[in-house]
Amino acid sequence: MYGLSMSLVQSEEGAFQFLPFLWEAGADLNTLDSPEATTALQYLVDLTKERLLSIDALNWTQQDAMTQWTAGKAAMCINGPWNLPAARSNAKFNWDVVPLPRGKQEASILGGENWAITVTSQHQAEAWEFIKWTQDQSVLKEYLLGNGTLPSRTDLGKDSAFIQDPKQAVFVKALVTAKPRAYGPNYPKISNYVQQAFQAAISGQKSASTALQAASQSVKPLLPS
């Protein structure tokens, strides 16, 4: 059994789970060449060297990480509220939810989906009315609860339906320190460089510092000025 399962696959799923460690260490995407960023990545490298985190995390999606945990192959799992139903159904042991370990600061990450109306739509007005309807408190509440998704509206975040379950309440509370990936239109390219960095360091191809230095050189020109 490993101590932890998480996703560090080369995709946005891996970046989604890596970024909170970066932020908690006091770094960000504009400071990937800092000692703080190296500390964050080295922490994960050390976990794999000490066999507390499987090297297979480099290939695991978030669902794979969840499956490792529910199967009893890892003591802890980093995941989100969308997997609470799976945890309740598949984990045959007592379990609970806690925030990520605090570094220099607390951090979590925002996910979510966006509504959009295409410029070529023949029904833009109707589409806008539909989107407004989906954001009505009663409609949105039912939708979010059905999908295991947290509310972006602060008034809904205080609704008993989201906080009466102590396990889900931990995720709701984490919204206070959660950050979006608001790094401009080049973010997909930026994320890919970050993914390459943690993959190279954790697999042993490069040191954490060298991998992040290389990523920093590619990322900085892509960040919003």
Which domains, ranges and CATH numbers included, belong to the chain? 2-110+181-222 (3.40.190.10), 124-174 (no CATH)
Per-residue pLDDT reduced to its tens digit, 64-81: 999 999 999 999 999 999
Give the total residue count for the chain.
225
**How high is the pLDDT of residue 152?**
83
Q: How many Cα atoms are found within 13 Å in the side-chain-facing hemisphere of 187?
A: 11
Do residues 24 and 104 make contact, with C-beta atoms less than 8 angstroms apart?
yes
Out of 48-52, 61-65, 83-87, pick the least confident.
Answer: 83-87
Do residues 117 and 131 make contact, with C-beta atoms less than 8 angstroms apart?
yes
Per-residue pLDDT reduced to its tens digit, 93-144: 999 999 998 999 999 999 877 899 999 999 999 999 999 999 999 999 998 8
Do residues 36 and 107 make contact, with C-beta atoms less than 8 angstroms apart?
no
State the residue for tokens 């060449």. Answer: 33
